[in-house]
Amino acid sequence: MKSQIHEQFEKHFGGEGSFYASSGRINLIGEHTDYNGSFVFPGAIDKCIMAEIRKNGTDKVRVFSIDINDYVEFGLNEEDAPSQSWARYIFGVCRETIKRGGKVEGFDAVFAGNVPLGAGLSSSAALESTFAFAINDMWENGIDKFELARIGQSTEHNYCGVKCGIMDQFASVMGKKGHLMRLDCRSMEFEYFPFDPKGYKLVLVDSRVKHQLSGSPYNDRRNSCERVAAAIGVEFLREATMEQLESVKDKVSEEDYMRAEYVIGETSRVLEVCEALQKGDYETVGAKMYETHWGMSKLYEVSCEELDYLAELAKECGVTGCRIMGGGFGGCTINLVKDELYDSFIEKAKAGFNEKYGHEPQIYPVVISDGAHKCC
């Protein structure tokens, strides 16, 4: 990927710049909990966005995207926002850096990536984090890593129309090889968890049903949660109990009630999974993953037929845990599979899915990797 990026950099701008990269992410459990002030359990993966970047001494940013095969130039004032959605991520990162008192001037960049788009692996967070990290480094702004993640999140809110939580950008920036992270999204305290489940593999099965959060009902889900939290009188749903939810049942819509029921259940599940992981009890971890899947499908309603099929198939194949991963509305399932069942599960998932939906799912074995960094 590096040599391909450099070839294009030379072609468009001549000479050479510095390389930066940031990863996509998985999430073991804790879905739609981040914007509810609750817990998530993500890790960065070995799929990234990489960019070659160099200051150009002007007030213009010039960027070429290899994967989209598109070139964009924009200025750094609010009114200079580009119309191309991919370029708005980069523009947003520049603006959010400036809003935090950071310096950004013109630069040239070429980027490419191998985070599958629309698979729920946070390709957009990887793009934001790559540029947030690079700009911070090049202009020596001294913005800390948490705030770099916030820059990506604010970019989504203010320039891309997705009111996302902090999980994706946090994982993309802070990821550490071989470790998952348990993040408390209210206090922003986090802990690295070494993750090497002996005898099991983690694998993603990508339905290739395209997921796109902007324009999807993602923001509606968030609004539902906020309405219920307000009805109960708590800041975040994380602070609410099932009893409190029950007590406002006649004040909230049936739909909002279901959304909150899922979130309150998911908060307990993340904590139960942490405890089980500490004991090496992967059977419990897996059982909770299935509970999350069906909660996301039946109560939160962010699954789809193809992903429900993959979860059912996983269960039939004896897979320990399986659930839809990420925001939903398509994308991947994450599967915890015993070593000895791995090959037969993958074979059955490919064949069964192909027969039903006319194409094979894509399989990605999970390798937990480092987050944002300057490449040597």
User: Which amino acids are annotated catalytic?
Assistant: 168
CB of 184 to ligand GLA, least distance (A): 14
Is the Cβ of residue 328 or residue 352 nearer to ligand GLA in the bound state? 328
Region binding ligand GLA by CB under 6 A among candidate stretches 30-38, 61-69, 309-317, 337-345: 30-38
Residue 327 binding ligand GLA, by CB under 6 A: yes
362: its two tokens: 């894509």
Pick from 87, 112, 134, 164 the residue near ligand GLA by CB under 6 A.
164
Q: Which stretch binds ligand GLA (CB under 6 A): 95-103, 160-168, 255-263, 273-281?
A: 160-168
Q: Does 263 bind ligand GLA (CB under 6 A)?
A: no
In the chain, the DSSP E strands lie at 18-27, 39-40, 42-55, 60-65, 70-75, 107-113, 179-184, 190-194, 200-206, 321-324, 332-338, 362-365, 373-374
Nearer to ligand GLA, 52 or 156 (CB): 156
Contact 307, 325 (CB under 8 A): no
**Which residues, other chains included, contact 68 with Cβ-Cβ below 8 Å and sequence gap of 6+?**
86
Q: What is the DSSP letter of 28?
A: S
Report if residue 323 touches ligand GLA, rule: CB under 6 A.
no
Q: Which of 326, 330, 361, 371 binds ligand GLA (CB under 6 A)?
A: 326
Distances from the Cα of 200 to the Cα of 195, 278, 289, 335, angstroms: 11, 15, 15, 10
Nearer to ligand GLA, 237 or 317 (CB): 237
**32 versus 150: smaller Cβ distance to ligand GLA:** 32
Q: CB under 8 Å to 372, separation ≥6 — which residues?
A: 20, 21, 22, 23, 129, 130, 132, 133, 145, 148, 172, 173, 175
Residue 32 binds to ligand GLA (criterion: CB under 6 A): yes
Query: Minimum distance from CB of 115 to ligand GLA (Å)?
Result: 12
**Residue 165 sits in the site that holds ligand GLA (CB under 6 A):** yes
Interface with ligand GLA includes 291 (CB under 6 A)? no
- Please state whether beta strands 190-194 and 200-206 pair in parallel, antiparallel, or not at all (unpaired): unpaired
The side-by-side arrangement of strands in the sheet containing 190-194 is 39-40, 179-184, 190-194
Query: What is the residue-wise DSSP string for 213-262?
Result: -TTTTHHHHHHHHHHHHHHHT-SSGGG--HHHHHHTTTTS-HHHHHHHHH
- Binding residues for ligand GLA, total number by CB under 6 A: 11
**Could you say which of 52, 108, 128, 168 contacts ligand GLA (CB under 6 A)?**
168
Closer Cβ to ligand GLA, 120 or 352, answer by number: 120
Least gap, CB of 343 to ligand GLA (angstroms): 30
Cβ at position 154, least distance to ligand GLA in Å: 12
Residue with tokens 């001294």: 142
| Sites of contact with ligand GLA (CB under 6 A) | 31-32, 34-35, 122, 164-165, 167-168, 326-327
